[in-house]
Amino acid sequence: MAELEWEGLVAAEAAGQRLDQFLAEPLGSRARAARLIAAGLVSVDGRELAKRHSVRAGERVVVARETPGPAAASGPQPAQFEVVWEDEWLIVVDKPAGVVVHPARGHMTGTLVQALADRASGGEDPQRPGIVHRLDRDTSGLLVVAKSDAVHRRLKAMLADRSLRREYLTLVEGTPPARSGTIEAPIGRDRHDRLKHSVDSDAPRAAVTHFELVEVLAHAALLRVRLETGRTHQIRVHLQAIGHPVIGDSIYGGPMRFGLKRQFLHAERLAFTHPATGAPVDVRAPLPGDLTAALAAARAALL
């Protein structure tokens, strides 16, 4: 007999709700409920029904616990990550370069989402439970992940009202003409290369990036960058647009210098008001080894 995840009766006040909506609270999110229903792990009065089923008062709903398939042990290894903050409401992880955040074409396994399957929840997309924002595969650093629908909604609202602060460190080609600045240029899919994003787009969306000069190096500069919006590849596209591409960025023109094998871009700081407790959360992740070595090489080039 399968181990139970949850079992209960439909109360009169819940009658008429969709099955996935009814299960959203006990299972942590509507997306997770929909996934378990689709997997055949939910029964209503002994029958497997679609997620759109309208529950009726007195129906008994039973949810079986998920178990890994027999191929799990020999399948792809879980994504590696470091937890830098965790409580009952959310988790902040330090994602290494090379890890994909959620399943996508060409990367259906070994993702961060799958590694967090028992801890993350919330949101409408069953492929991205708990994911509030993302990082490119070859960008390292901090991500906040929700553990429930309610926390996911609040963190998404913070992104929308720009109260969730995201800061990056990046090494760029050349030196910007000002010690600080704001790049305000809409971004969308490039008109000529559908695999890239660009300020030259038929469907641009507003994008704002702030930067500060941290250190001037030999034909390079270390910048602290703050995102106001979060478009795909935003930092990389904006810095290319002003003539200072991220070093190591093979897609947007940054040269492979200082021993780098990927773009020098690291999500170094996250700061926000905790959506459940109201306490300030301010976490940082040090540069990983490959970027630390590249920065040392860039400094040595001054000698």
Question: Which domains, from first to last, does the chain contain?
Answer: 4-64 (3.10.290.10), 77-300 (3.30.2350.10)
Question: Which of residues 38 and 89 earns the better pLDDT score?
Answer: 89
Q: What is the C-alpha to C-alpha distance for residues 37 and 116, in angstroms, rounded to an integer?
A: 20
Report the C-alpha gap between 301 and 303 in whole angstroms.
Answer: 5
Comparing CA positions, the residue from 140, 137, 150 lying closest to residue 82 is: 140
Distance CA 260, CA 248 (A): 6
Q: Which long-range contacts (CB under 8 A, 24 or more apart) does 190-199 make?
A: 195/251, 196/233, 196/251, 196/252, 197/231, 197/232, 197/233, 197/234, 197/237, 198/237, 199/237, 199/238, 199/241
Pick the more confident residue, 4 or 269.
269
Structure token pair of residue 240: 């290319």
Does 202 qualify as catalytic in the annotation? no
Identify residue 242 by its one-letter amino acid code: I
Task: Identify whether the C-beta of residue 237 lies closer than 8 Å to the C-beta of residue 184.
Answer: no
Reading the block at residue 174, the tokens are: 């050349």
Average pLDDT value over all residues in the chain: 90
Residue with tokens 């600045």: 181
User: In the numeric block, which tokens belong to residue 211?
Assistant: 């930067």
Please state the rounded mean pLDDT for residues 32-46. Answer: 85
Cα 184 to chain centroid distance, Å, stands at 23
The pTM of the full predicted model, rounded to 2 decimals, is 0.76
pLDDT for 82 equals 92
Those residues whose C-beta lies under 8 Å from the C-beta of residue 128, and which sit 6 or more positions away, are 31, 101, 102, 113
- Least confident window among 43-57, 97-111, 288-302: 97-111
Q: How many CB atoms lie within 10 A of CB 184?
A: 13
Q: 76 falls in which pLDDT band (50, 70, 90)?
A: low
Task: Tell me the per-residue pLDDT of 136-180, one tens digit each, with 9 for 90 and over.
Answer: 999 999 999 999 999 999 999 999 999 999 999 999 999 999 999
The one-letter amino acid code at 133 reads H
Residue 154 to residue 285: CA distance in whole angstroms: 23
Q: Which helix (H) or strand (E) holds 5?
A: strand 4-9
Question: pLDDT (tens digit, 9 = 90+) per residue, 45-66?
Answer: 989 998 889 999 999 999 998 7
Residue 33, classed as helix, strand or coil, is helix
Burial class (CB in 10 A: 0-12, 13-18, 19+), 227: buried
Rounded distance, CA 125 to CA 117, Å? 13
Catalytically annotated residue among 94, 136, 138, 249: 136
